[in-house]
Amino acid sequence: MNKLIEQMLIVGGSRGIGLAVAEHYHTKVENLICVSRTRSPFGNWIEADVAINADLDRVCAAFENRSLDALLYLGGIWEKNAFTADYDFANSSDDEIDRVIAVNLIAPIKFVKRLIPALERSPNPKVIFIGSLSGLDHQASREVANSASKFGLRGAAQALAIELRQTAIGFTVINPGNIATPEVLNDIASETFPSQIPIPLSDLIAVIDCSLSLSADSYLPEVNLAQTKTG
Ligand SMILES: NC(=O)c1ccc[n+]([C@@H]2O[C@H](COP(=O)([O-])OP(=O)(O)OC[C@H]3O[C@@H](n4cnc5c(N)ncnc54)[C@H](OP(=O)(O)O)[C@@H]3O)[C@@H](O)[C@H]2O)c1
């Protein structure tokens, strides 16, 4: 990985994808900060609910007068019974819709806004958002708020790259299929999900490593990471 990546912030470092990525980087970067509501075992953990503005302010205050080389927004949520036959848009509460969009889409935008000065202090600032294949044109899944949030994330990254061109921050959205997190593996084993081979976490980490290994003169705008064995 690029030696210029020393200061890293991972949102969603307590479970799933973010936890695996935090485990991968915690010995490789000088300073890793992880943000989530429940404790992350890696790096310096800041407890925060990213749907609350005051929590965002508190997390970002940790970067006042400091630089940030990599913001990895890897957390997220989805609707009740998402990705199963029991998902029911008509009965999805307004609160649920608000919260999915707040955590998956609005929070990453607000993080970037608050962290511009810290990212600008880095010689090679990179931002990575976790999207989904269901955020691609004509590949949406039935979960309306989740799909909308993932589509929106791609628009946000493209707009940020234009608006913040002078800062040379690289904005990457990674759109994966099912990743082999413990939850996904359980869902396959319990036949909640159809039989399939999910994407190894190490493959997703390889994509993140690749993105972070680029010089300050280029970035990967978007990467789609698909399964070969969808079942
Ligand atoms: N797993 C997959 O196969 C897959 C595939 C494509 C895309 N993705 C995307 O990847 C992201 C993470 O998925 P995952 O499978 O790793 O999920 P996960 O295992 O449920 O982990 C979600 C992470 O997000 C954090 N989080 C959720 N709500 C939060 C809040 N309000 N404030 C702060 N942190 C919050 C959680 O921490 P706390 O609960 O401790 O707060 C946790 O660390 C999601 O956006 C998902 O759409 C996942």
pLDDT for res 2: 64
Q: Give the model confidence (pLDDT) of 55-91 as tens digits.
A: 999 999 999 999 999 999 999 999 999 999 999 999 9
Residue type, 188: I
Q: Is the pLDDT of residue 3 over 70?
A: no
Ligand 1 nearest-atom number relative to CA 178: 3
pLDDT for res 74: 99
Residue 50 has a CB neighbour count (10 Å cut-off) of 25
Ligand 1 nearest-atom number relative to CA 104: 45
Residues 6+ apart with CB under 8 A from 93: none
Instruction: Give the integer Cα–Cα distance in Å for 76 and 146.
Output: 9
Instruction: Tell me the domain boundaries of the chain.
Output: 7-225
Atom 5 of ligand 1: nearest residue by CA position:
178
pLDDT for res 1: 64
Q: Is the pLDDT of residue 207 over 80?
A: yes
Mean pLDDT (the chain, rounded):
97
Pocket of ligand 1 (CB under 6 A): 12-18, 36-38, 48-51, 74-78, 103-104, 130, 132, 176, 178-179, 181, 183-184
- How far is the centre of ligand 1, averaged over its atoms, from the C-alpha of 70 (Å)? 18
Q: Give the model confidence (pLDDT) of 155-204 as tens digits.
A: 999 999 999 999 999 999 999 999 999 999 999 999 999 999 999 999 99
Instruction: Give the integer Cα–Cα distance in Å for 69 and 216.
Output: 11
Name beta bridge partners: 128: 72, 172
Q: Is the pLDDT of residue 231 over 90?
A: no
Q: Give the model confidence (pLDDT) of 107-153 as tens digits.
A: 999 999 999 999 999 999 999 999 999 999 999 999 999 999 999 99
- How far is the centre of ligand 1, averaged over its atoms, from the C-alpha of 217 (Å)? 30
Instruction: Calculate what percentage of the chain has a pLDDT beyond 70.
Output: 99
pLDDT for res 62: 97
**This model's pTM is above 0.95:** yes
CA-nearest of 227, 115, 102 to 171 is: 115
pLDDT for res 40: 98
DSSP at 80: T
Mean pLDDT computed over 201-220: 98
- How far is the centre of ligand 1, averaged over its atoms, from the C-alpha of 61 (Å)? 23
Q: Burial level of 129, CB count in 10 A (0-12/13-18/19+)?
A: buried
Instruction: Calculate what percentage of the chain has a pLDDT beyond 90.
Output: 97
Atom 22 of ligand 1: nearest residue by CA position:
75
- How far is the centre of ligand 1, averaged over its atoms, from the C-alpha of 98 (Å)? 16
- How far is the centre of ligand 1, averaged over its atoms, from the C-alpha of 74 (Å)? 6
> Which CATH entry fits the domain spanning 7-225: 3.40.50.2300, 3.40.50.720, 3.30.390.30, 3.40.50.1820?
3.40.50.720
- How far is the centre of ligand 1, averaged over its atoms, from the C-alpha of 218 (Å)? 28
